[in-house]
Structure 1
Amino acid sequence: MQPFARFRFAATRPITADEVPDFLIEAPFRTHVVYDFPDLDTGELWKVVSSDRMWSWLPTVWGCRYPPGDPIGPGTVRDFQMYIHHWLIYAQREQILVWEAGERLVYTATDATLPFFGTWCEEYIVEPRAGGGSRLRWTMGVRVRFLGNVTLRFLTRPMQAVFRFGLRGLPRESGMGLSDVVEHRIGR
């Protein structure tokens, strides 16, 4: 049983892999961040993006928990968790829709411990950078449960700034021994 499972709110409508392109364009809230990592090659960047440590460099984020021992790919369900306050832990169950090892990861949220996220999808694309290093293209789309299709696009620019700031800590995870964890997890 996943932690906090009895306190979860089902997503109003998780999306399918076929719906990803349209949803990420039409979602009422959508943000897209492109971030360059000149000192990380694509393999190093992918190891962080696909690991259980993604976002864990932020003060309140614990990261993702994958099922132990199972290969990771489309259909894998993982649990994202973060500490919000001494009595409030946010957890979101995520189902991987696309797993192109080394290049692309897409997931949809299936439930969460807070009721406001109705439909949630994120896409991470890792690619080489022309001058060396790597580039991350990250797109997130959300349809808030109680607002339906009310557009929240006015939040795009401020949230892009927040997410860009958050990605600055990613290179620290590259040197944290992730290769052993990731290789074990994805069966390389």
Structure 2
Amino acid sequence: MQPLARFRFRATAPVTLESAAEAIDTAPFCTHVVYDFPDIDPDDLWSIVSSDRMWSWLPFVWGCRYPDDGAEVAVGTVRDFQMFLHHWLIYAQREQILVWEPSARLAYTATDATLPFFGTWFEDYRISARPAGGSRLSWTMAVHVRFLGRLPLRWTAPLFQAIFRFGLRGLPREHRNGLTAVRETTI
């Protein structure tokens, strides 16, 4: 997947599905964002959230790279999330999928990254239908930041929630552009 894998920093404690609730409860940084998409049905929202283009509408994000071997995406699949931080600095994070429920839920943990800051990383995207039509995305991110010990960073959650909500505003543009899922999945 990533040619410079030997230059990665391993996560101190990748999350398992069994340890996810504890990771969320104990993470020094944890944020939860709920965003409604009244014009996007759950299947279409899933196509965007699970695609290789997730977050790529932001100017510094390239998106996710799934395995090139054509394998089905499922629990256990490893992908790379990549972003451009500076003309000489690229950030990549290897993610292992813990939950893959098409049109409903995607959860993953980071196993390593090109920068040493994140010791543990867990994200959980849950999609549901809205009674009035469209869909709702509930997104939780829990991070244990390396080098800062147990410094309580939860006070920064409202700031990051606003930033993340702003970032999600680009998702409908991907929907209008006709984005489709990376590949068909079966469970």
Q: TM-score range by the shorter chain?
A: over 0.9
Task: Name the structure 2 match of 1:5.
Answer: 5
TM-score norm. by structure 1 comes to 0.94
Aligned amino acid, residue 163 of structure 1:
F
Task: Name the structure 2 match of 1:67.
Answer: 67
Cα drift, residue 42 of structure 1 = 0.6
Cα deviation per residue 1:162-182 (whole Å; 9 max; x = unaligned)? Answer: 000000000111133432x43
Aligned amino acid, residue 142 of structure 1:
V
Does residue 1:151 correspond to 2:152, yes or no?
yes
Aligned amino acid, residue 17 of structure 1:
L
SS at match of 1:72: coil
More deviation, 17-26/99-108: 17-26
Cα drift, residue 156 of structure 1 = 0.5
Q: Which residues of 2 match residues 42-57 of structure 1 at below 5 A?
A: 42-57=42-57
Distance 2:96 2:57 in 1: 22
Cα drift, residue 130 of structure 1 = 1.7
SS at match of 2:6: helix
Q: Which residues of 2 match residues 64-103 of structure 1 at below 5 A?
A: 64-68=64-68, 69-103=70-104
Distance 2:77 2:153 in 1: 30
Cα drift, residue 131 of structure 1 = 1.2
Task: Name the structure 1 match of 2:185.
Answer: 186
Could you tell me whether the CA contact under 8 Å between 1:70 and 1:185 is conserved in 2? no
Distance 1:85 1:154 in 2: 28
Task: Name the structure 2 match of 1:17.
Answer: 17
The alpha-carbon distance between structure 1 residues 43 and 153, as it changes in their structure 2 partners (threshold 3 A), is same
> Displaced runs of 4+ in structure 1, greater than 4 A?
none
SS at match of 2:173: helix
Q: Which residues of 2 match residues 82-161 of structure 1 at below 5 A?
A: 82-161=83-162
Distance 1:87 1:6 in 2: 18
Cα drift, residue 11 of structure 1 = 0.6
Aligned length: 186
Cα drift, residue 149 of structure 1 = 2.5
Cα deviation per residue 1:81-101 (whole Å; 9 max; x = unaligned)? Answer: 001110000000000011111
Distance 2:32 2:143 in 1: 12
Instruction: Let me know the Cα RMSD of the aligned residues.
Output: 1.4
Cα drift, residue 2 of structure 1 = 1.3
Distance 1:109 1:185 in 2: 24
Structure 2 unaligned segments of length 5 or more: list them. none
Distance 1:185 1:4 in 2: 29
Aligned amino acid, residue 144 of structure 1:
V
Task: Name the structure 1 match of 2:38.
Answer: 38
Aligned amino acid, residue 126 of structure 2:
I
Distance 2:38 2:28 in 1: 33
